[in-house]
Chain A
């Protein structure tokens, strides 16, 4: 049973560029959440997608946007990258019908130069 997968594993961008990160949820899960984790800190909630719609959003600017596809996979897009966007981006999946325990993928390490 494949767990949550994310791509790419690492990414280097320059300020002002745009980036797209991808996530495939665990089999049987229909809800995807995205988190940003700066070095040495706990993850911060960005937003959550269910039924192809943004269900909840954290305190992140509109530069952060997302999408969920009919197969439940998801993308996180960040526009106009800033140095402060350098972080580990984590995707978590859960089932809306279950206990809603969120299972995390390995993350994408983004470095903005």
Chain B
């Protein structure tokens, strides 16, 4: 059974304090690893898809990387508007996404 574990569960950062979020996964035949951002009471917003180990993608202050067992989401010089829950999900055989529990990020000014 596919499993995804995200750590830490919560992260409090000062504005400008860079940090990394971890997503560890166990899956048979990874088709893709996805990162989403979710604001309270709203649906997840797509950020990145990574397909193979060694791949990296960037968007503004966010950078996602992938190895054979885990993915990292690096937040560089975060701003208060980066405060959200960040969700990691894997897609293996079939089309369903298996999500981790998320990391709640709070960036204080």
Residues in A lying within 8 Å of B, measured CB to CB: 4, 6, 31, 33, 35, 40-45, 48, 55-56, 58, 88, 90, 92, 94, 99-107, 109
Contacts and interface: CB of A to CB of B under 8 A. Distances in A.
Contact of B96 (A4, A45, A105): A45
A104 B96 contact: no
B69 interface: no
Interface string B40-66: 011111100100000000000000000
Q: Residue among B34, B89, B95, B99 with the most chain A CB within 10 A?
A: B95
A31 B46 contact: no
B91 interface: yes
Given A99-B49, A100-B32, A90 B96 contact: no
A56 B101 contact: no
Nearest to B101: A42
Interface residues of B, number: 25
A109 B42 CA distance: 10
A4 B101 CA distance: 23
A105 B41 CA distance: 11
B46 A43 contact: no
Nearest to B94: A56
